[in-house]
Amino acid sequence: MTMARVQERVVPAQQAAPGGEGAGGAGLSKVVLRVARFDPERDVRLRWQTFEVPYTPGMTVLDALIAVKEHHDGSLAFRSSCRMGVCGSCGMYVNGKPRLACQTQVSELGGTVEVAPLPNHDVIKDLVPDLSPTFERHRKVHPYIIRPAGDEPEMRSPTREFAQTPEEMERYLQFAYCLKCSLCVAACPTAATDPLFLGPQALAQAYRYVADSRDGGWAARADVVDGPHGVFSCHLAGACSEACPKGVDPALGIQLLKRTLLVGPPHPEPAPVIGPRQTPPPDPARPRPQAPPPTV
Amino acid sequence: MRESKLWALHLFAGGALIVLLGVHMAVQHYPTLLGWLGWPQTDVRGFAAVAARGASSAWAVLYVLLLGFAVYHGMYGLRRVLHEVWYSPGAGRAIDLLVVVAGLVVFVYGLVVVFQAMPVGGAS
């Protein structure tokens, strides 16, 4: 499949209607959507198409795109799933900023909305970016709890618990809210110039597990993040933290990761497993509940 | 060497440059400032003063340190920029080699400049 990197920064034709962002949609009767289109079979660069849809109170950019797909052009391609800012599927470049379409109110943008695929990503079709490089970089940083070698059986089949204080949880909690929506990567100026850069998403997730008191995988992660295209490539622009729809601060995570590389992880040893298991182990005689067969 | 060690040295070199360059600037270009601190006022850029500093071991050490830290700081910065704009794995090694060779050439040339002011037979 042919894909194209959006080379140019999309400059919005009109940032907002009179009244600007936050005008509240008062008097808005229709929404003008300027949508970037890209067909890998015939296009070499983005082309633009304009649609008009009737405005309804509370309309999000995703609602407007769905209206376009239902009433104007069924071939328009975009991703969405939960419609409530949880799944991270509908990341788009809306009026000059990477945003989740389902969390962006049309009324805050005025009457004209310009929608393009996420920058710093190849485009699969129309507004669908190729997120696989983000996921590959995420996998590189070992985004899971790594226990010392002797604890492997306990990890596979837990019999006891790990102790963690609320303060220890606070160290990584905000980073655990990451949706993997890749908006931070789309906003990152370093990712725009260096395709090998690990990127704010993966680096912040590396810190999320490094800061977890149960984790002992610092050495494996340090090998990944401490390279020429790792944590020290960050220019500290802070655009990633501004773009994150869940309030995660990847720029902070990157700075804390730099500190960790110099002085070591916040906890010298992973927390030991403690105490008996609080819930009874599964009864082998009792059959496990089975998921219903898929409907699609 | 790991990137974190190179980066830490880059930071240290930056701090050291502020101190060493500060000494150089204060003595060579802002003697009035030193005068306010009670330092005797002399013609610091006169031939005799320059020749005396050139023959001094302490000044030679200061300038060699200044040269070393400046070359490292600058070359590390250049390397980071080149890594960002030229990013294939093979290019990474070529950039590192180029920067090390260029840095060594500049450093050796700087050493020659520092020590050629020394009188033959050793420093004073």
Cβ–Cβ contact B1 with A under 8 A: no
B-chain residue closest to A258, CA distance:
B4
pLDDT in tens, chain B (124 residues): 689 999 999 999 999 999 999 999 988 888 888 888 888 778 888 888 888 888 889 999 999 999 999 999 999 999 999 988 888 878 888 999 999 999 999 999 999 998 887 776 555 5
Strands A122-125 and A128-129: antiparallel
Tell me which residue has tokens 């590189």.
A140
Which range among A156-160, A179-183, A200-204, B45-49 shows the weakest confidence by mean pLDDT? A156-160
Q: Does A255 touch chain B (CB under 8 A)?
A: no
Looking at residue A135, its pLDDT comes to 97
Rounded to whole angstroms, the maximal C-alpha distance in chain B is 57
Q: What pLDDT is stored for residue B122 in this prediction?
A: 52
List the single residue in B2, B4, B84 with the smallest CB-CB distance to A233.
B84
Give the pLDDT score at A20: 44
- Using only the alpha carbons of chain B, give its radius of gyration: 18
CB contact residues (below 8 A), chain B span 79-118, against chain A: 80, 83-85, 87, 92
Q: Residue A115 in contact with residue A36, Cβ under 8 Å? A: yes
Give me the helices (H) in A83-227, please: 132-140, 152-156, 166-173, 183-187, 189-193, 199-210, 218-225
Average the pLDDT over A116-137 and give the result: 97
Cβ atoms A23, A107 nearer than 8 A:
yes
Q: pTM of the predicted model, to two decimals?
A: 0.81
Q: What is the average pLDDT across A120-127?
A: 96
Average pLDDT rounded to a whole number, residues A207-219: 93
**What pLDDT is recorded for position A137?**
97
DSSP assignment string, B37-85: TTPPP--TTSHHHHHHHHT-HHHHHHHHHHHHHHHHHHHHHHHHHHHHH
Q: What is the CB neighbour count within 10 angstroms for residue B96?
A: 15
Spatial CA neighbour of A94 closest among A68, A71, A65, A123: A65
What three-state secondary structure class fits B2?
A: coil
Angle at A96 between CA A91 and CA A101, to 5 degrees: 30
Can you tell me the distance from the alpha carbon of A220 to that of A278, in angstroms, rounded to the nearest whole number?
31
Higher pLDDT, A215 or A291: A215
A187 contact B CB<8A: no
Is residue A218 within 8 Å of residue A191, measured between CB atoms?
no
Q: Using a CB–CB cutoff of 8 Å, tell me whether B2 touches chain A.
A: yes
What ipTM did this prediction achieve? Answer: 0.75
Q: Using one digit for the tens of pLDDT, what is the confidence trace for A43-99?
A: 999 999 999 999 999 999 999 999 999 999 999 999 999 999 999 999 999 999 999
Q: Which residues pair with residue A123 across a beta bridge?
A: A4, A129
B52 phi and psi, to 5 degrees? -65, -40
The token pair that represents B11 in the structure block:
């930071």
Strand pairing class (A112-116; A30-37): parallel
What local confidence, expressed as pLDDT, does residue B89 receive?
A: 72
Which of A93-97, A232-236, A280-284 has the largest mean confidence? A93-97
Distance CA A69, CA A71 (A): 6
